[in-house]
Structure 1
Amino acid sequence: MSSGTEHEKRFQRVYAANFEPLLAYAMRRVEQPEDAADIVAETFLVAWRRSHEMPPEAEVRLWLHGVARRVLANHHRSGARRGRLGDRLRQRFRSALAVDPGSEVPELLTVRAALARLNEVDRELLMLTFWEGLEPREVAVLLELNPAAVRTRLSRARARLRDLIGHDLDPPGHVLDVMAVRALEEGR
Structure 2
Amino acid sequence: MTVPQDDEFRQMYAANFPPLLGYALRRVEQPADAADVVAETFLIAWRRRHEVPGGPETRLWLYGVARRVLANHHRGDERRERLGDRLRKRLAAVVPDPGAEIPERLAVREALARLGELDREVLTLTVWEGLEPREVAEVLGVNPAAVRTRLSRARARLRELVGDDLRRPGHVSSVLTVPTPEEGR
TM-score in terms of structure 2 length: 0.50
Which one has the bigger helix percentage? 1
TM-score in terms of structure 1 length: 0.49
